[in-house]
Amino acid sequence: MSFHSRHLPHWQPEGAPLFITWCLHGSLPRNRFPPPGLTAGHAFVWMDRYLDQATFGPTWLKREDIAQMVFDCRHYAADNLRHFDLHAGVVMPNHVHVLLTPIIAPSKLLQSVKGFSAREANKILERTGVPFWQAESYDHWVRDDKEFGRISRYIEENPVRAGLVATAEDYRWSSAYAGQKAVVAG
């Protein structure tokens, strides 16, 4: 099991699935904190609901070209580079959720996916020298099959809870997307 800490602790047992979330730089104001007394899981849900409102900071991922590039980048890292097995994922207007099993060190796969997608997004936005992603990501190791299923549903239902679509299958940048499942099945 590896452990490192920046602002958040990162416990990452080898071969265990991870639930990882990262957000756009500036999408969480420095003075917004979860209410005191919440467990780590409840604090995460509070933060995620705040991000879903997208009332503060950039929402570059609302742009189809950028959302598609981030979506494709994740799949390229999983399918071609074999950095991880991707089980579920969604690109929201200001953050990304993935459920994956790392094949390489999680810090390296995040550096690869976030680094490449940040450079490409900044090219699209015609920006240079400006951070695209928040430096640190939230991760949680998945302890059992029941939790795996719950997290997978949580990820795929995120666009519905945020009011972006009526059903998870309608959201284009999600592993639940009906068109995506048809392509995979075909």
**CATH 3.40.50.1820 is the classification of domain 16-185:** no
What percentage of the chain reaches a pLDDT higher than 90? 63
Query: Looking at the predicted structure, is the pLDDT value of residue 185 above 70?
Result: no
- pLDDT tens digits along 60-88: 999 999 999 999 999 999 999 999 999 99
Select the more confidently predicted residue: 45 or 2: 45
Contact partners, residue 116, CB within 8 Å, separation at least 6: 73
Nearest-angstrom CA–CA distance, 90 and 103: 20
Query: Looking at the predicted structure, is the pLDDT value of residue 180 above 80?
Result: no
Rama region for 163: left / alpha / beta (φ>0; ψ in -120 to 50; rest): left
What pLDDT, on the 0 to 100 scale, is given for residue 35?
73
Contact 125, 70 (CB under 8 A): no
Query: Looking at the predicted structure, is the pLDDT value of residue 37 above 60?
Result: yes
Query: Looking at the predicted structure, is the pLDDT value of residue 186 above 50?
Result: no
What pLDDT, on the 0 to 100 scale, is given for residue 179?
67
Contact 100, 85 (CB under 8 A): yes
What residue type is assigned to position 84 of the chain?
F
Nearest-angstrom CA–CA distance, 70 and 74: 6
Instruction: Using the structure block, give the residue that is written with the tokens 């009526």.
Output: 166
Query: Looking at the predicted structure, is the pLDDT value of residue 49 above 80?
Result: no
pLDDT band at 126 (very low <50, low <70, confident <90, very high): very high
Q: In the chain, at which residue ranges do the beta strands (DSSP E only) sit?
A: 2-5, 9-12, 18-23, 84-91, 95-102, 138-141
Nearest-angstrom CA–CA distance, 52 and 161: 8
First to last CA, the chain: 38
- pLDDT tens digits along 152-178: 999 999 999 999 999 999 999 999 997
What pLDDT, on the 0 to 100 scale, is given for residue 184?
45
pLDDT band at 52 (very low <50, low <70, confident <90, very high): confident
Exposure on the CB side of residue 57, measured as CA atoms within 13 A = 22
